[in-house]
Amino acid sequence: MKVLITGGTGLVGSAIYNYRPNWIYLSSKDGDLNDYNVVTNLLKQHSPDVIIHLAANVGGLFKNVAKRLEMFNSNLLINYNLLENAYRLGIRRVICCLSTCIFPEGLNRVLSEVDLHLGEPHHSNYGYAYAKRIMEVQCRLYNETPGYHYQCIIPTNIYGPFDNFHLEDSHVIPGLIHKAFLHSKMNIDSPFLIIGTGAPKRQFIFSNDLARIIIYLLENHIFEPLLICSTPESEETSILSLAKIVANEFNILQVVPTESYSNQNDGQQIKTVHPTKLLELIPNFEFTKLEDGIHETVTWFKSNYPNIRK
């Protein structure tokens, strides 16, 4: 089985490489996925049996808010070009990566796969979320052709080595790690300030855990078309608690929210999901504890700074 991975040198692609180094790993250096003809040539060149589609224009809360149109257009193009070329070339198995941030806001319950299209996403994720939702619809339509299995997984917040640690465009854990690192270098006793109230709660999944799940789904021929990939809801953590875990890695004693009475920079307050289907399919799966995963990520960050993505 010949497996090709887009976004192969990113967070999840690098984690998969730890377990399956002989697969084909493409990065942006291999070609621009926004260009339909480039994608055609890449897939013809490598002729894979399976594609794991991880490539995307991604960022954290502030990038999603500031660049909504860019996030929509770029991801729409990338996903269309990849899926349509795969379909036309007879590649029958594709695993695509969505995100729990694309779920509707305001449903006020623990979310499952069937809730994906039941309302608009949070305004902060609007452009990115709709591009990803459209990819899920595309996959369903391609699957109407017998023998095609275009599958979408919905991971919760992913973190780990090889992440993007940009101070403004990153997701919450790599952003906090980079900021805490810089704070610790100042050698002062002032508190570590985080943007927002710290009240929102999130579930997190270590990149190596998601890599093992993807490999298991592929190699055990599990074709579930839409699957939440998340730690259980009992492991949900507030941003403030998360920041304290990160701060502890840098011996920072005090963490303080900068907006104790405002949630304008908080994003969606709660978007809890429960991985019922996943735990039925892989009942004995052991997730990495958040503290352990953050420790491993911080260790990697320190060892590879300043050559990390930032």
Active site residues: 128
How far apart, in whole angstroms, are the C-alpha atoms of residue 261 and residue 150? 45
| Residue whose entry in the numeric block shows the structure tokens 């090889």 | 162
CA distances from 268 to 41, 103, 134 (A): 40, 10, 21
Burial class (CB in 10 A: 0-12, 13-18, 19+), 69: exposed
3-state secondary structure 143-208: CCCCCCEEEEEEECEEECCCCECCCCCCCHHHHHHHHHHHHHHCCCCCCEEECCCCCCEECEEEHH
How far apart, in whole angstroms, are the C-alpha atoms of residue 292 and residue 93? 33
Contacts of 215 (CB under 8 A, 6+ apart): 16, 19, 20
| Residue whose entry in the numeric block shows the structure tokens 């809890």 | 272
Hey, is 32 helix, strand or coil?
coil
Token readout for 243 is: 């920041």
The answer to whether the CB of 2 falls within 8 A of the CB of 46 is: yes
Strand partners, 94: 51, 150
Token readout for 190 is: 């002032």
Strand partners, 90: none
